[in-house]
Amino acid sequence: MRVAWWYKAKKSDASLSLESIFLDPSIASCLDKYNFNNSARCSWKPPPRGFLKFNVDGACDKTGRCGIGGLLRNHLGSILLEFSKGAGSGFSVLAEILAIKYAIESFVKSEWFSSTKLIIESDSKVVVDWISSPSSSNSTFSKLVQELNVYITSERWQIRHIYISQNIRADTLAKRGIG
């Protein structure tokens, strides 16, 4: 937390939240235009041709109000779809799951569903691991996680964990969804 406070004091014009810096201190160095050492951890990478990539995030404030956000992009980095909405109240893990669920539902209804493969990226390693292996999930979320796993086990779908520094836009959309 001390690093987060120090960074905010040094870069008073930075739009990063203390929580974001605390969860992934490398995010601060990623935004420093003179730091090229961590560029692999910092930058979003486009999907290969034939794939679309949905970056998603869920966030909750101190009162428990949650928001979800995400953006779907093609191999050129063009944004095809974006969402930011409230997700009721709960915990950040639930918000992360709901963000993935909303992204899947949006993609299934889209014009790209039948002709394109999908990569979903989230900065929640716990949720990505649960969806990849539902038997490891918390019993509270197991039914929801198993529903999402059905899509991910298809050859046309992938889910990946990424660093928060690679997911800044989705994080911003999720926080905006809180209200």
CA distance 95 to 111: 26
* Higher pLDDT among residues 164 and 121, named by residue: 121
- Which token pair is 33? 């235009």
Q: Are residues 49 and 39 in the same domain?
A: no
Q: Are residues 54 and 109 in the same domain?
A: yes
Mean pLDDT in residue range 142-166: 89
Q: Are residues 101 and 158 in the same domain?
A: yes
Q: Could you read off the pLDDT of 49-94 as tens digits, one per residue? A: 999 999 999 999 999 999 999 999 999 999 999 999 999 999 999 9
Mean pLDDT in residue range 124-153: 91
Q: Could you read off the pLDDT of 16-58 as tens digits, one per residue? A: 566 666 655 665 555 554 444 444 556 788 999 999 999 999 9
CA distance 146 to 29: 37
For residue 107, the enclosing domain spans 45-178
| Helices of type H across 63-158 | 92-108, 125-132, 142-152
Q: Are residues 67 and 134 in the same domain?
A: yes
CA distance 51 to 40: 20
Q: Are residues 77 and 149 in the same domain?
A: yes
CA distance 88 to 76: 34
In angstroms, what CA-CA distances link 140 with 9, 20, 56, 146? 40, 26, 21, 12
- Residue/partner pairs of 142-145 with CB below 8 Å, 24 or more apart: 144/97, 144/101, 145/97
Domain holding 56: CATH number? 3.30.420.10
Mean pLDDT in residue range 152-173: 89
- Which token pair is 158? 């992938």
| Total count of domains within the chain | 2
Is the pTM higher than 0.85? The answer reads no
Q: Are residues 95 and 169 in the same domain?
A: yes
Residue 48 DSSP code: P
Q: What's the pLDDT score for residue 14? A: 55
- Which token pair is 88? 């009721």
Question: Which of 63, 61, 68, 80 shows the shortest CA–CA distance to 124?
Answer: 68
The CA angle 72-95-170, to the nearest 5 degrees, is 30
